[in-house]
Structures are given as C-alpha cells and as structure tokens.
Amino acid sequence: MKRILFFLFIMATCVVFAQDKTASQVPVPNYRLASKFSPTNLAKLVHSTTVRPNWLKNGNRFWYQYKTTDGSNYYLVDADRKTRTKLFDNDKMAKWLTEITKDPYDGQNLPRFSFKFVKNETAIQFRVTATEEVEVKDDEKDKIDEVKDTIKKDSTEIKKVKKKKPKMEKKVYFLEYKLGGNGLTIIDNSKKDDKRKRWANISPDSTVVLFSKNHNLYWMDKENFLKALKDEKDTTIVENQWTKDGVENYGYGGGSRGENNETKEEKKDDRKGVWGIWTRDSKKFIYQKTDSRHIKDLWVINSVSKKRPTLETYKYHMPGEQEYYKSELQIFDIPSKEILNVKLDTVKQQSLSVYRHQYKKSEASDEFKPSLLLSKKGKIYFSTISRDRKKLDICVADINTGEVEVLIEERFNTYIETRPLVLLNNETEMLHWAERDGWAHIYLYDTKGNLKNQITNGPYHVAGIENIDEKERVMYFTANGVNRNIDPYYEHLYRINLNGTGLRGINSGDFTTNVSLSDSNKYFVSNYSRVDSTPKSELRSNTGALIMNLEEADLSQLLATGYKFPETFKMKANDGITDLYGVMYKPYDFDETKSYPLLEYVYPGPQTEAVNKAFSVRMDRLDRMAQVGFIVVTVGNRGGHPDRSKWYHNYGYGNLRDYGLADKKYIAEQLADKHPYIDINKVGIYGHSGGGFMSTAAMLVYPDFFKAAVSSAGNHDNSMYNSWWSETHHGVKEEIEADGSIKYKYDIDKNQSLAANLKGNLMLIHGDVDNNVHPGGTIRMADALIKANKRFKFMIMPGQRHGFGKMTEYSFWLRADHFSKYFLGVEASNVDILEMNRDKPKG
C-alpha cells in the first residue's frame, strides 16, 4: 500500500512539474515591444525605401527625393552622362529660405518640396508656406460688413459701415531656383489652388469647359471660366445648359457618393464634375451615361457626425438581383451641340469601358492632362463584358455614325480579366492581353481584328506592358514566373521582339523589382527588394547593364531597435502538389525553448494575397503582432493571387467561402511539424475585409483546429456584398426562360449558416459607416451567433469607413488583447490602453 501511495505521489509531482514547465514555456505578452513599432514610431525610424523618378522631357534625365536619418536630399540624374548630382546644396537652400521667410531652417530640416521644372528645365519653381500670417487678399467681400440698421441724425438716415477683422492666412512664397545658381528669386506670394478646377472638364485646346449641374451637362467658354476661377459666385458668369433630360441616377456627371442627407442638400446646386473623354482636336466629347435609377438603395448612418445623426444613401447592386446598370455611350459634338449615341445592345446586361490615352512618364507632373481617346484618329475603342464576366468583346465605334464593329472576342468558363489595349504602328496594329491559354500573355493583332501572332508564350504570367519601341519592334513588359527557380511572385522586367523572338530578362535576380522605364526606352530605374533584405535602387540600360547604383535604404535606426527580418518559406498546398509561398514573423526576443501560439494573417484573394514580397514598413498586421508573443505567418492559397496560372487564380470559382481554408490549415500543420517551438494546439487566425470573412469561416469550418480569431470588416454574407466582386469571383448563372428572357441566379455559402459550429473565441469588428463592405454583413453574423447561443465579442467602430481610419491603432490593441487572453493566458484589465496613452502628450 505504501508503495502504491508513493507511486501516486511521484506521478502527481511529475504532472505538476510538467504543468509548471509548460506554463513557463509560454511567452509573456510583450506589449512594450509591440508598441515600439507603431506606425507613428516607425515613421521616425525608416524613411525612403524606393527611388521614384520624375522623368524630364529633355534627355534621359530625372530627379528624385530620398530621405534617410540624415534628412532629405534631392538629386538630378543624367543617364546619358552617367551622373548624379544634388539639385542644390541643402545648407545653402536653408540659408536662402531663412533669409526670405524669416523662419529658421537648417540643411537637415527642409520642408517637403514639390518641384516644377521650367525654362527648358534649367530652373525649378516651388512654394513654401511661412509661419507669418497675412491678410487674405481674395476675400474682399468679407473685409467690410455693411450693417443694415440705420441711425438718425438731424432727421437724416445714415447707414453705419463697420469694418470686420480681416481673415488671416499663412504667407506663401512662390520661389524659383536656377540650377547651379546662388540664390532664390521670389516670383510672387500666390498659393496653389487645388480645388478650383475640380468641377471643370477642360477641352484639350482650353476653349470649352464642361461641368455638371442639377444632373445635366453645362458648358462655358474660357472667358467665363476665368471669371469662375476668381469668384465662383460671380453673377456675370454665363453658363450654357446643354442637356435637359438629366435626372438623379440617370444624368450627366455629378454624383453624391459619400455625401449624407445634409451635405447633399447643401451642394445640390453646385457645379460638379462630369467625367468623359476628349478627341485631340477638342471637337468631340465621349460620355458614358449610366442608368441606375432601378438599382436599389443602401444606407449607413453616422451617429457621431454632428448634433443630429446623418444618413448616407447610395445605389448598391447586390449579387443575384435581376436589375443591372444600363450603360450608354454618347458622342457630344462641341461645335454643333448635337448628341449621337453609339449603337450598343442596351438589352444585354453588360459593363462598358472606353480605352484611354496613356501619358508619358515625363508628362506625369504636367498640371493639365485632359482625358483623351486612345486613338489619335478619333476612333472609339472600347470593351464590353457580360454580366457573368465570361464574354468579353473588344470593339471600335465610328465617331461620326456611332456604328460598332467587334474586333476581338474572348470566351471562358470562369471570369475574364483585362488590361489596357495598346495601339501602335500608326494605329494599324494593337496589343491585347489575355489568359486564353491558361497564362497571361500578349497577342499582336491588326486593327481589323486579325491575329498576327502571339508575342509571349509559356508557363509564366505577363503582368503588364511597360513600353513599346516601335522602330525596333521591341516590347518591354513585366512578368512573374519566367524563372522557375525563384518565387513566382517576384516581378521582373523583360524585353521581347514583337514577332515573339528574343525574350530576355533585363533585371533578373532572386528578388522582386519595381521599375520605371524612360520614355526613350533606353534606361530604367529598378527598385529591388525582398522581405528579408534591405531595399536597393539602381539605374540600368535597356540591355540590363548597370549604369549606376542610386540608393540603399537607411535601416540603421530600425535595426538599432532590435528589429529582425522575417523568414520566407515554401510548402505544399493541401493537394500535396501545389507550391505555396509564405513569410514567418517571429518576436524579436524569440526564444526557441518556448512554445509559441501560431497566428495566421489571411486575405483569401482572388485579386491579391496578403503575402509581402518586398520589404515594407507597414508592420501593423504582421511584425507587430508577433512582438506580443506569437509566431505570425502569412501564406498564399489556391485561388489567391492572379500572378500565377489561370488555374491557380480561379481555383476558388464557385466556392468562395471555403476554397482557401484547407490550405491554411495544412500549412499550419506543416510548420508545426518542422518547428518544435510552434504550439499546434494554439492556432489563431485574423484578417480584414476578405480576411475578416475568411478568418471567421475558418473558425466555423474547422472549429476544432482554429481556436481564436479576430475578424474585422468582413463580408461574411457575400449575398449582400457588391455584385462586381461576388458575381465575378464566385460566379452568377445565366438561365434562359421560356420567353427568351435571361434570369440571373446566385447562390453562395454564408458564414452565418455555420454559426452553430463555433467552439473557439471569436471577435467581430466593423465600422458603422462602411460603404464598401456594409456593416450589415457583420451584424447578420452576430445575429446568427446570438441565436445559436454563442459567446463572442463584437465591436463597432463609430464613424469609421472600411479602413477604420484613426481607429486603426485602437483595433490593433483589441486584436492583441484578444489573442493574449486566449493564447498567452494574460488578460489586459486596465481600462486605459496604456500603450496608446504612455507617450501621448497630456494637454
């Protein structure tokens, strides 16, 4: 008996010891470490990570700004001469600005400049705002207030005139610097008015201005427009009404998206913008008119806006609804004021898109860039795509008759995606992007619609066309997966002859790149990066030869905090065949002897995946969460990113709720098998928008595996999310009725249908004025959980849109608290979020 009691004592002691050992292996939540890497703090540690070239018109030159821990410098690069020089000496610029504005500057602390090159690009002009306040010059009507009451003196009425205190504003200096000069010239004290032209659609020759008013199209000439620039309410301005049939939701321009019942009433008689496309001779204006009167309304209420809550009403088409937007294409003739309709089949439920002229890189800073037709010859190239997104037609319309010719047809059993059409060779040829062979490639057609040849070919994805050298008949393009030995998401620049020969990579490497090609096609800036290395920038020629190294990001301050790069990995999907690529983020105080919960940050796609390929300082959802005390991973899934095969991208078609979940679960299991510091019994999942939808779905489809989730702004009920996304990526079925009419049927699994499955700890978060993913989807999820008698957390973000705005930081700590409580065993109990309040100045 004594032996049995002794044995039981030893066993109990071992169990207690094992429990104590397990407890000691669990990380303690490190909120202090996570707070070090808030967006506010990161802005102090990391500055520029890429070179963004501003290409100039003369020569192969560009300027750029680059910021390090020593401040900002501005450089001028001449690729032909292989030179890089500072635009100006920072210390001298600080001296000149101090002398002119009387505000103190030094070379490390200059204002952020926005330059305009002038005088054949030998000088730059820019504005600086001083702290000195001056009287507002353009507000004469507010300087004197004529009081209507009168006084009597000697039986004579005398009107009193009382001067009001003038309005004040900070003084602006409009300055010019001659490159290589020794000082600044004051041009004037005018400030840039970015708002004055918002409503004006100015013709390319600047003689006519179109705008919308009370849902109709109006126009004014240049003389009257100049009056409006000086004073919007000048009563002598002559406005000419062109149309009279415009009504709300079936008019010409305007629109009230984002306005509530109060602002809509206030602005109802204002001039508003009208969006359309001009011919280059300014004689024709192409306008796409949409009838959405029959589309049902949706609403959000802002309870924290003003004294009285405001109501926002907007048109919102939900999947499976029989009504659809009706599009027309109209041609407005400026001289005759006649209107011609392009001959479209308006009975078909389809979407319409007109191809537009793409401006050169050197024209990016031009202040006046009217929207122009793709064709210089006045032809209207456009595409139509059926409501089920399976039938795409590329068409051309005659601008004088409205007659339409179909040039290219694309048909597929899943959805069809598109890229801009490119015209070349004096508009006798065109380049068309398509996925017809299962990969995204470029096809060469003549402009009569005859296929000449497929230019790119093979198991890789063409991301887009960068430029065309028509003389040499060479196409420059970006692509993924050409090199099968590296991550297929890494994007690089290639060149190929238009006949399909001579494919060549010109910035290859085991990293991803972002490029900017000069208009001459001779040079390009290549920013290359990986999540686990320091970003660098260089200038190369069109053959790939290195011209010069430009910059290497300054991460010295970041690394000094203890920052460590994440780790990349490749594993198999749940089919055991498909490669999936991911990134693992560890706490910077990682201890391999501890047992860490695993969190998966998810976004299901299909338009993208949440896996970073380049270094980024946007750490809020990944690096930062790991610092609390977790292993955080993000990984792709079948049906995710489009930069792979069409099969991979469309894997989730028809199964939009569950298609990626098996892969997420299997990846977690593989990681736990490989890394003993991962606790497979503590797997959590979180995400925003589609990730909010996916994380809740994971909790309900695999309730014994995923133990906790935070789902923010999720589209849990895709039957009430916008039809474009839902019908495109899940599919909508066209059924022909006996009378020949078409009915549209849409059916999709919803998260709330599985509410009874919930076993783990779920938190739902949503902004109450989210007009993208309506909060009703999350409220329906909460309703289903309540009816299933489930405990869960539910947080509404007052007055917030889809991205949570200024409440993003608050949402981070809600997420940290949730996972800390259920996985690390520590619950934040202080009413204050100390990490948000600690360094906040007390007023």
- Beta-bridged to residue 186, according to DSSP, are 175
The burial class, CB within 10 Å (0-12 / 13-18 / 19+), for 629 is buried
Pairing status of strand 310-315 against strand 277-278: unpaired
Triad 292, 298, 304: Cα angle to 5°:
135
**CA-closest candidate to residue 514, choices 533, 490, 534, 531:** 490
CA distances for 552 relative to 35, 484, 490, 525, 536, angstroms: 27, 28, 19, 13, 4
Task: Give the Cα separation of 714 and 688 in Å (integer).
Answer: 6
Task: Give the Cα separation of 403 and 340 in Å (integer).
Answer: 10
CATH hierarchy code of domain 20-44+562-695+710-719+794-837: 3.40.50.1820
Greatest C-alpha distance within the chain: 126
At 468, the amino acid letter reads I
What pLDDT is stored for residue 163 in this prediction? 64
What pLDDT is stored for residue 140 in this prediction? 44
Three-class DSSP category at 235: coil
CB 210 within 8 A of CB 218: yes
CB 638 within 8 A of CB 647: no
**CA-closest candidate to residue 701, choices 633, 748, 759, 654:** 759
What pLDDT is stored for residue 9 in this prediction? 47
The C-alpha torsion from 309 through 315 and 319 to 325, rounded to 10°, is: 180
Task: Give the Cα separation of 674 and 779 in Å (integer).
Answer: 39
CA distances for 171 relative to 10, 132, 558, 763, angstroms: 83, 6, 37, 50
Task: Give the Cα separation of 559 and 565 in Å (integer).
Answer: 9
Three-class DSSP category at 816: helix
Let me know how long the chain is. 843
CA distances for 530 relative to 45, 172, 636, 722, angstroms: 19, 42, 16, 34
CB 127 within 8 A of CB 172: yes
Task: Give the Cα separation of 599 and 631 in Å (integer).
Answer: 6
Please name the residue that has the structure tokens 């456009």: 382
What pLDDT is stored for residue 295 in this prediction? 95
**CA-closest candidate to residue 123, choices 176, 175, 74, 55:** 176
Please name the residue that has the structure tokens 């008013």: 213
CA distances for 131 relative to 71, 90, 168, 472, 730, angstroms: 21, 21, 12, 55, 55
At 266, the amino acid letter reads E
Task: Give the Cα separation of 250 and 270 in Å (integer).
Answer: 18
What pLDDT is stored for residue 8 in this prediction? 47
Q: Where are the domains of the chain?
A: 20-44+562-695+710-719+794-837, 49-135+171-188
What pLDDT is stored for residue 160 in this prediction? 57
Task: Give the Cα separation of 344 and 21 in Å (integer).
Answer: 74
Residue 369 region, left (φ>0) first, then alpha (ψ -120 to 50), else beta? beta
Averaged over successive runs of 10 residues, the pLDDT of the chain (843 residues) comes to 50 44 76 93 94 96 96 97 97 97 95 93 95 77 45 54 78 95 93 75 96 96 93 93 96 88 90 96 97 96 91 95 95 97 93 97 93 97 97 98 98 97 98 98 98 98 97 98 96 98 96 97 97 97 97 96 96 97 97 97 91 89 95 96 95 92 98 98 97 97 98 96 93 89 92 97 97 96 98 97 95 97 94 87 77
Give the tokens for residue 254: 């305007």
Pairing status of strand 326-333 against strand 380-386: unpaired
The burial class, CB within 10 Å (0-12 / 13-18 / 19+), for 157 is exposed
- Give the contacts of 758 (CB within 8 A, at least 6 positions apart): 699, 700, 703, 785, 788, 790, 792
Please give the order of strands across the beta sheet that includes 512-517.
512-517, 523-529, 536-541, 546-552
The C-alpha torsion from 559 through 563 and 567 to 573, rounded to 10°, is: -140
Task: Give the Cα separation of 82 and 102 in Å (integer).
Answer: 38
**CA-closest candidate to residue 54, choices 114, 9, 108, 5:** 114
Give the tokens for residue 501: 């020969």
CA distances for 53 relative to 64, 115, 134, 459, 843, angstroms: 5, 13, 36, 32, 42
**How many angstroms from the chain centroid is the CA of residue 434?**
23
DSSP state letter for 745: E
What pLDDT is stored for residue 190 in this prediction? 83
